[in-house]
Chains A and B, each alone.
Chain A
Amino acid sequence: MHFLLPLFFLGTSLAQDPSSLTDVPERFRSNDLSASSHAIGEVCYGRLILPSGATCNPAALSEVEEPTFFASGAVQNGNDAYAMANDFIFQKIDSDAISKLFTSKRTQSYRGQVGLMATVRNFQASFEPYRVQFASQFDNPNYPAVALHASSERNLSFSGGTSLSLLHRHLQFISVGVKASWIERQFIHQKFTLTEAVLTPLDSLIPIESQKGVLVDASVMVIPPFFKPIALSFAVTHIGQLKPYSIYYYQPTDLALGLSFSNELTLGKVNFSVDIRDFLYANQIASVLYAGASYQIGIVEIMGGWNKNAATLGAQIGFRSVFIALAYDTYQSDLMETTANDRLSMEIRISI
């Protein structure tokens, strides 16, 4: 799998932030933590229908053919990281939890998501009661310091999208959509040394912050009547703000462009998709690009993706009501290491 590394470093070396030890890792701002989305590079506006059958682009709801209603769970990395994330996010932080940070593996990373999703033509609703991301990094054994990043989110969202053929039949190639999400977030983003951990009271050492609010995305999609495999999307994203303001989750209202090419083959279907997202305030080109490709035949979908955070390969297998998606990715550590870490994500989806 390490043949992915050159591809990965090509982009991430450009996008790396030198203050990343204390900044919230970029990947904490992911739209979707599921393995199937991760496997196509977390493309959102460039992909009309995601491998799960849901859609991230509200305007693409006009293209939904099959109603989908599923419960899903997705995890990345193993039990150790999960237990540590659980300690910091859902338990009362104690000295045992702190000591684990200094004695466990150098880098711990965990992402988990559990949700319900219902998608029909023109409408989608989702509820994610559990969406947790955790990363801890232990640096410099002689003067031990730990960077701790953890966030827990609850998310309830409703999307609606329709073709403009409602207004005039000649406008059937244009669709519009809106997505509104209610988000509640609790988070910790802190760096401290072993000495500070010993001398400082835990409440002030690791202050837990929270924010909540509504974010709205609005998109327009055009499927040219003369070449239907192509779909172009334009979106205004993150309209609104979570309160209180936090510099760790600075997501100003921005723009996104999506390009999708999908074509039915004799056997199977191919899809190529590209997103250019949040480019108004971006510093580097690589940080706004998301790309994904997939080939779906029968019960199998083979996927590949790339974005500033990771290069990914994945597969989804599913028949009738049970689906399993696996994504393997290489991503650069937030400690400016020259090596990349490997990560395996798994998602189980059960159609209801």
Chain B
Amino acid sequence: MATLTLRSVNKRYGDVHAVKDISFHVGQGELVALLGPSGCGKTSTLKMIAGLEEITSGDLLFDDRRMNDIPPESRDIAMVFEDYSLYPRMNVAQNIAFPMRVRGVPVRERERRVAEMLALLELEKVATARVRELSGGQQQRVSIARALVRDPAILLFDEPLSHLDAELKIRLRHEIGSLQQQNAVTSVLVTHDQAEAMALADRVAVMHLGTLHQFGTPEEVYRWPSDMFVAGFIGEPPMNFLPDCGFEVSDGRVTVQADGLDVPLLPDQGRSLMGSGVDLSRRFTLGIRPEDLFLSSPGSDRVCGRAEVFFAEWRGEYQVVLLTQPGSEEPWLTLLTEESLAVNIGDSVGLQVDPARVHLFDEQERNLFVGEPERAGTGEGSSIDEEQQATRTSA
């Protein structure tokens, strides 16, 4: 087991700058997820760690040892691939034993380790089956067993779940989580699926167009996204963005004015904004997560705006409500609410927002509120009724 450090790592393919000056650290037994859409540089980064791509500039360290010039076979890395990459002519047990055979591990030791892996991944019953007779989920389990059997310094997962059906994906995700957390294997996971990254990672590296936008715990990238890209990429359904917002300041209180929605900020939010030197005459983008937007209770005087229900999806344990502006057919806002609330298409509804949880982005798409993670839940009180707070936790 080792730690992993990248220091100012770059990758160029001719004129294409695929990975731009990336630095992060993976501690002993931690799992870091490289998350982003296709073309973000996550796979190139993984390949450089594995030694399958040369590093154009920067340092790659395992513990304190620089690895840039060490060939892949000497790096003590195991990899789990999207397409499983098993040996089709071998049976399950032979596939798992293969990396040990190559290294000349004695037969008895090999058999013991294979038996251990078969039990760990619940593959005993198919030990002698050929891999092509197995389902996708079983094949991926074999590939994980083959990676773990070597007890590698670092384990790399390249989109391990993307080929699987929804149900199986979630089940195998729990299994990967349990193997990784129980055995504390230092791991890097490449994925485009934010739910997968949030579920499994100790830290998430959010990447876009070769740049590392944010490196933080799942809670940090969710609650305090550094910019609009991270904010929009993390969370399901995605964050609502209301562009072209202005501010109104009266009696020292700041209200964000969006088209169709006015959100009064908490006093300390307003103060920090006014004291931050940001030019409030510019236009900003307001970001509100679907889970931080509420249907107002009847008679509430804290309505921030009105909308019409376009569609309500019942998802078993919660509902997703899609809203338009009154009289419009254009998508506007998405809201999450408890499953038992009666919501009908065409209903006119009032909206409430928890100001402690809104995000404001400047023209460079930077989050103005980041850098003060203490603000959530600080003192002066959220303007949401208590029963609405309860709605959030049950959603």
Asked if A pairs with B, the answer is: no
